Structure 1
Amino acid sequence: MVQPAKPRPSSAAILIRDTHPIQVYLAKRGRNQLFYPGFHSFLGGSIQKEDWEIGKTFAPEMDEELKAEMVALLREIFEETGLLLVTPFPDPKRLYLERKGLLEGKLSLKHILEKLHVQPDPSYWIPLGRKTTPPLFPIRYQTRFFLAKVPPEADIEIWPGELESGAWFTREEALRQWENREILIPPPVVILLQLMDGALDSPEQIEKLRYLDDENLEKEVLLIPFDPLCQLLPLKTDTVPPATHTNCYFIGRKRFYILDPAPSDPKEQEFLLKGIQKRISQGDRPVAILLTHYHRDHVGAALKASQAFEIPIYGHPKTEEMILAKGDKGIPGFRIHRYLKGGEILSEVDMGKMEVHFTPGHSPDHLAYYFPEESLLFCGDLVSTLSSILVPPKPKGSLAEYMKSLHHIAKLEYQWLLPSHGPPTTLGKETVLQFIEHRQQRENQFLKALAEKERTKEELLQIIYGREVPEKMLDFAAYNVP
């Protein structure tokens, strides 16, 4: 069974300064970054071997891992802002050469600390919880969060590179700009900002911020706020590798759709129902279940959720037909209450109008859901941010139809592309165009191989996929070779 990517140890700092009200520092990540490009986030980074070594030089009574996490932040914050949070606090303007040397790899943090005759100071750092990136991401981190109060005389200077810029925000201002979709903020940062109130360094507030921790959340449903109008709940499904989960989306504020209630496993189904109930307990109301297509890893809990909350199921007529055609292996008693077709417009939730787009290819019943005013496209299995998409042979799929569907959604305008597998991306157009280019390259490889001489299907499979696709995945790739 395929396992989610192994998390990398990292740490992140909530930098605050004692103004009235207290402000939080958010840095805008560069557009070329793999993880949350263009998002406003806390500062942080991965833990390196040197961080453990430096950790052994101070505070012997402290936990070694905690010290390594602190040192990693000390290094990252110095690289990214010029602030070296040690005691006595040095003037950042006098550390230009040290910062430049560290960024260029000519100086180590250990060398800089020894040169300045300073040590890391644990009093700067208040440890909070540790949160692991959800399993839908191809790159994952296990991040320890810290609260750190910056000295009043601190002068932050971002050097363009990994970061584009940075600014101090009040909690209210950051959330207001995110709610108005003026800035992008990663989900864990949104959650921590929502948890903040009052004096950020008070014992009560610190305990509240420690809520965001893997142990606290192990049995609780955490709805991931990728956008003010959309929450994501990743659910374990028996899906096609490298995916291990299917994304179920809650779309809307007080009135919301449930898109692709995916799991067949009873425990995961109960987890989904708890997520829906959580929204209801907040005064929100589910309007309907939307389905992208008939595959089991998208519809497994549709009937159960529909019956539990007395809400209708919307989908393509063929979705119902193909589920019922499976008999006992399908979902006995399943029915769609409202048939949808391409070109329909719905306006049942507190958002702009939703357009239904018929996008066959991966399956003959595939639908995508588009909110032009909010710039959101829920693309189902048209695109994955984990891998290429499996296109079965006819009658269950069609590569020609799939390519037409990709070209169709490439003409739409959207900021967020929200797939069923892998994390949502704000590089939606680029991602779709990359999929089109990738498929065209595969087709060219196929035609070139056939032009050279007659080949068996197995030979074509090795020529086209052998170098790039793991052997255990070749059976899936074989669907794309006639």
Structure 2
Amino acid sequence: MSLRRIRADNPGPFTLDGSVTYILGRDDVVILDPGPDVDSHIRALVRAVAEAERITVVLTHGHGDHAGGMNALLAAFQALGRAPADLVGAGHPTVRPVAEGEPIPFDGGHLEVVPTPGHTRDHLAWYWPQRRALFAGDHLLGVGDTTWVGEYPGCVADYLASLDRLRTLDLDVVHPGHGPDLHDPADALDRFERHRRDRIEQVRTLREGPDRLRGEALYDRVYGGRVPPGLDGAARASLAVIEEYLDATA
């Protein structure tokens, strides 16, 4: 097989049932997102590529559930007297940036970088044209209709633009960083955009309505005590960037 999924044991509200690392190829392989610094996961990755002649490591972004295991993975290879031939992507000091159009080869074809800012400013998706497949990182999840967008000013506009960019690709399947594959990419893109725009319109209506809600009153009306424990900060950041988006597009 040219594609293998290895799921880390790091379930949680952001990671669903765990972060997924993808192994592409057999002899000339790509490890796409090493995942978290979980010993059992790093050992599983090393075993998966034990027979490979050439290894490339590719990152979508630098959050710990995707790139946190990079140092441990490199140390494991060093202990075996091996070193990846290339480290590419975004979010870790060891990787080099990739120019658009530069192919990242492996023995199942090649990957092409697709900048998809929104979840993070430097977030990248990776397109596998030979399979009409997209490795979406955290831009799309395999479950539900939303991902976290709240890291920096302008991220909502970036996220929506990135969804439009992905619509230009010839896609049969999306492989997300968390959850199962998405076999109807067009529906997934529409679903995630619809959720985001519905939330924007909800906030717009509450801000411009008769009560002109702001601050805690706005937060309480939008989320209404439905935020799971530990996610209050993320919810507040998400609301703040929606307000910033509305102010910027007024």
TM over 0.5: yes
- C-alpha RMSD over aligned residues: 2.2
Q: Equivalent residue for 2:223?
A: 465
**CA distance in 1: counterparts of 2:223 and 2:59, whole angstroms:** 31
Alignment of 1:122-133 (within 5 A): none
**CA distance in 2: counterparts of 1:315 and 1:393, whole angstroms:** 19
Alignment of 1:264-283 (within 5 A): 264-265=37-38, 267-268=39-40, 271-280=41-50, 283=51
- Maintained 8 Å contact 2:117/2:159: yes
Gaps of 5+ in 2: 78-82, 241-250
Aligned residue identity for 1:335: T
Q: Equivalent residue for 1:323?
A: none
Q: Equivalent residue for 2:243?
A: none
- Maintained 8 Å contact 1:384/1:419: yes
Q: Equivalent residue for 1:481?
A: 239
| 1:110-145 Cα deviation digits (max 9, x unpaired) | xxxxxxxxxxxxxxxxxxxxxxxxxxxxxxxxxxxx
Local SS of the residue matching 2:8:
strand
Aligned residue identity for 2:94: R
Alignment of 1:211-230 (within 5 A): 228-230=1-3
Q: Equivalent residue for 2:163?
A: 406
| 1:27-85 Cα deviation digits (max 9, x unpaired) | xxxxxxxxxxxxxxxxxxxxxxxxxxxxxxxxxxxxxxxxxxxxxxxxxxxxxxxxxxx
**CA distance in 2: counterparts of 1:466 and 1:418, whole angstroms:** 33
- Maintained 8 Å contact 2:117/2:123: yes
Measured after TM superposition, the shift of residue 447 of structure 1 is 0.7
Measured after TM superposition, the shift of residue 277 of structure 1 is 2.1
| 1:260-293 Cα deviation digits (max 9, x unpaired) | 111223x33xx3233332442xx33452110101
- Maintained 8 Å contact 2:36/2:68: yes
Measured after TM superposition, the shift of residue 391 of structure 1 is 1.2
Measured after TM superposition, the shift of residue 418 of structure 1 is 0.7
- Maintained 8 Å contact 1:243/1:422: yes
**CA distance in 2: counterparts of 1:364 and 1:234, whole angstroms:** 25
Match for 2:56 among 288, 292, 297?
Answer: 288
Q: Which fold has the larger relative contact order, with Cα–Cα distance below 8 Å and residues 6 or more apart in sequence?
A: 2
Measured after TM superposition, the shift of residue 390 of structure 1 is 1.0
- Maintained 8 Å contact 1:390/1:479: no
Q: Equivalent residue for 1:335?
A: 94
**CA distance in 2: counterparts of 1:278 and 1:356, whole angstroms:** 24
Q: Equivalent residue for 1:421?
A: 178
- Maintained 8 Å contact 2:27/2:107: yes
**CA distance in 2: counterparts of 1:300 and 1:393, whole angstroms:** 18
TM-score by length of 1: 0.45
Q: Equivalent residue for 2:33?
A: 260
Measured after TM superposition, the shift of residue 444 of structure 1 is 0.8
**CA distance in 1: counterparts of 2:9 and 2:212, whole angstroms:** 42
Measured after TM superposition, the shift of residue 352 of structure 1 is 2.8
TM-score by length of 2: 0.83
**CA distance in 1: counterparts of 2:67 and 2:12, whole angstroms:** 12
- Maintained 8 Å contact 2:42/2:72: no
- Maintained 8 Å contact 1:457/1:481: no
What number of residue pairs does the alignment pair up? 231
Match for 1:394 among 127, 138, 152?
Answer: 152
Aligned-residue sequence identity (percent) comes to: 26
Q: Equivalent residue for 1:344?
A: 101
Aligned residue identity for 2:139: L
Aligned residue identity for 2:62: Y
- 1:286–1:422 Cα change, 3 Å: farther
- Maintained 8 Å contact 1:287/1:348: no
Gaps of 5+ in 1: 1-227, 321-333
**CA distance in 2: counterparts of 1:417 and 1:315, whole angstroms:** 18
Aligned residue identity for 1:411: T
Local SS of the residue matching 1:407:
helix
Asked which structure has the greater CA Rg, the reply is 1
